[in-house]
Chains A and B, each alone.
Chain A
């Protein structure tokens, strides 16, 4: 059964304090692993897609990496505006586009 587990559930950082969010997954044939950002009361907003182990992608203070079993979202020198819930999802090879989501990590960055 496809499964995605994110840790920690919640993370509090001081502005400038770098850290990482973890996403562990099991899937029958990975087509892609996705990271989304969700602000309160809004829909998820796409950040990255990773396709194969060893791949990395960056966007501003965020860098996503992928291994065969997990993905990390590294946040370097975060700012208060990075506060949000970060969602990880996997897509299998069934060619339906379905996503299996983890529970999310809620990040709070204090000034």
Chain B
């Protein structure tokens, strides 16, 4: 049981390049999220999904796009990377059932944009 797996773990991009971060979960969770973590800012929600084929904006969505074509996968895309997107990105998933609302997190992707 792997839980939440993020790919890649590290990446360096040049300004203007694009990339996709992949998140996969094997817990059959309906809800999935992308957060970014910056020093002194805590975790901030970028985009989220409440089910296959659905996505919604979070607190800091600008410069990012997402897709949830399969229930187990949630992709985060950067179309034209900027230095302000240097951060650690975390994917999480949680159940829509009332008994276990806690979110489970991946190990993170450390992205540097130069």
Contacts and interface: CB of A to CB of B under 8 A. Distances in A.
Interface of A: 4, 31-32, 34, 36, 41-46, 49, 87, 89, 91, 95-104
Interface stretch (B14-22, B38-46, B68-76, B78-86): B38-46
A103 B58 contact: no
B107 A99 contact: no
Given A42-B107, A43-B106, A91-B101, A97 B94 contact: yes
A96 B50 CA distance: 6
Contacts of A42: 107-108
A82 B102 CA distance: 21
Contact of B101 (A36, A45, A87, A97): A97
Interface of B: 4, 31, 33, 35, 40-45, 48, 50, 56, 58, 90, 92, 94, 96, 101-108
Contacts of A87: 42-43
A98 B48 contact: yes
B104 A98 contact: no
A44 B90 contact: yes
B65 to A, nearest CB: 18
The 8 A-B residue pairs with the shortest CB-CB distance in the complex, in nearest-first order: A43-B105, A97-B31, A101-B43, A103-B42, A101-B42, A97-B94, A46-B102, A44-B105
